[in-house]
């Protein structure tokens, strides 16, 4: 990974005109462990900034929901009112829209997923945190594994172990000749491609968004170096720096939209997978 | 061996450009037809929007894989 400069390795000083543009790369996603300890003598557990942010997200989501619904009232007031809007959004726009009335059983899972993924994404623009937790691949992978286990379990429970795999591999109502082509595609798609793309989609969106914002932030700083020159070059430096700074702000607004959209898509796809496990295609 | 053509520089960005063609066309078709469907039948807005976003997410994943691949596999 020698091509990608980590920002911590950049030795450029402000006003240093010989310095090449320190393009941020995959290095900005690597964090030094803040603390590490051994488990059972052979596994070392390292606590990095993303881990701390993920724990913070868990605490925030749990505390908000417990505070809102610890003593639920029939006529909601204050915090319960606000959180109920979020809950109803997941129930009406995701669960019932995809699964109908059957979806009501899975609203708690979908609500937790939605708000946990969203809070992990929003950490990208919280001052002081400014790192999307889901841009570390392990976090979306674990969430996708949870979803995978849930829909596999529900499929086997509702259609039987044999029936579920039979329904995946041989969807009924097809011409017999198409099965040699269809069976491997369907098996691969349901068992492997679904969870993999679920994880990659969230990871890649957050990765790309964070990288974009960083590139424009660094370039706003870097182009100020050009203002040390005289004449036209310094004008380019001022204009470019101001434009980069404005683009950073605009992109931050765009990222807020993308963060909510990705959390929504993650939950929506979970609902689609669960709904395909509940009923066999016929 | 005689080299007939050679590309130097950032191959990752060329790959991303190529990978973005298909999803770009696909997302255009999805939203174009989605807006058309909403215009024809505004009362079905909820269902159409769900399916539009679903299709958008599936098409967009391909472009994003193209974006991430150079970082994951190195230059």
pLDDT (tens digit per residue) in A22-38 = 778 778 888 888 888 87
Exposed, middle or buried: residue A71 (CB in 10 Å: 0-12, 13-18, 19+)? exposed
Would you say how long chain A is, in residues?
282
Alpha-carbon distance B66 to nearest alpha carbon in chain A (angstroms): 10
Tens digits of residue pLDDT in A144-181: 999 999 999 999 999 999 999 988 888 888 888 888 88
Q: Are A114 and A87 in contact (CB under 8 A)?
A: no
This model of the complex carries an ipTM of: 0.74
A 69-108: CB under 8 A from B? 93, 97-98
Mutate to test the interface with B, among A203, A204, A272 (most CBs of B within 10 A): A204
Size of interface A-B (CB pairs under 8 A): 47
- Token pair 């973005």 is found at B20
Q: Which of B16, B64, B75 to mutate to test the interface with A (most CBs of A within 10 A)?
A: B64
What is the average per-residue pLDDT within A64-74?
88
pLDDT digits (tens, 9 = 90+) for B13-65: 888 899 999 999 999 999 999 999 999 999 998 889 888 988 888 888 788 88
Closest CA to B44 of A202, A97, A219, A77: A97
Over the range B13-51, which residues count as b (16 or more CB within 10 Å of their CB) and which as e? eeebeebbeebeebbeebeeebeebeeeeeeeeeebebe
Rg value, chain A, Cα: 24
Q: Any idea what the Cα angle at residue A166 is, between residues A160 and A172, rounded to 5°?
A: 115
Looking at the complex, report in whole angstroms how far the Cα of residue B32 sits from the nearest Cα belonging to chain A.
Answer: 19
Shortest CA gap A44–chain B (Å): 24
List CB contacts (< 8 A) between A4 and chain B.
Answer: 71
Q: Find chain B residues with C-beta within 8 A of A268's C-beta.
A: 50, 53-54, 57
First to last CA, chain A: 50
Q: Helix A232-278 vs helix A107-122: angle between axes, to the nearest 10 degrees?
A: 170
């Amino acid at each position: 990974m020698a091509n990608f400069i980590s920002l911590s390795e950049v030795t450029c000083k402000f006003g240093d005109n010989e310095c090449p543009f320190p393009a941020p790369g995959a290095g900005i996603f690597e964090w030094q462990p803040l603390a590490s300890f051994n488990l059972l003598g052979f596994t070392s557990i390292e606590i990095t900034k993303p881990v701390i942010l993920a724990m913070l997200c868990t605490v925030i989501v749990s505390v908000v929901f417990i505070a809102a619904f610890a003593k639920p009232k029939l006529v909601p007031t204050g915090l319960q009112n606000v959180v109920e809007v979020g809950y109803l959004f997941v129930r009406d726009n995701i669960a019932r829209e995809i699964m109908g009335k059957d979806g009501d059983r899975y609203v708690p899972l979908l609500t937790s997923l939605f708000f946990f993924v969203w809070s992990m994404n929003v950490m990208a623009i919280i001052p002081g945190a400014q790192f999307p937790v889901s841009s570390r691949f392990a976090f979306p992978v674990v969430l996708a594994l949870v979803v995978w286990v849930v829909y596999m379990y529900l499929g086997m429970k509702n259609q039987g172990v044999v029936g579920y795999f039979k329904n995946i591999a041989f969807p009924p109502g097809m011409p017999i000749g198409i099965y040699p082509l269809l069976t491997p595609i369907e098996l691969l798609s349901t068992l492997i491609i679904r969870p993999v793309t679920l994880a990659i989609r969230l990871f890649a969106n957050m990765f790309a968004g964070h990288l974009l914002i960083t590139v424009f932030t660094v370039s706003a700083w870097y182009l100020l170096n050009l203002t040390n020159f005289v004449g036209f070059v310094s004008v380019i430096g001022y204009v470019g720096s101001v434009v980069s700074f404005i683009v950073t702000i605009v992109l931050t607004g765009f990222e807020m939209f993308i963060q909510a959209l990705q959390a929504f898509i993650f939950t929506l796809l979970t609902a689609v997978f669960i709904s395909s496990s509940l009923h066999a295609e016929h | 061996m005689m080299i007939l053509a050679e590309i130097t520089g950032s191959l990752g960005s060329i790959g991303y450009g190529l990978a973005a063609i298909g999803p770009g066309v696909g997302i255009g078709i999805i939203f174009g037809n989605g807006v058309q469907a909403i215009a024809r039948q505004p009362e079905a807005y909820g269902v159409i929007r769900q399916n539009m976003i679903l299709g958008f997410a599936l098409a967009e994943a391909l472009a994003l894989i193209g974006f991430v691949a150079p970082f994951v596999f190195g230059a």
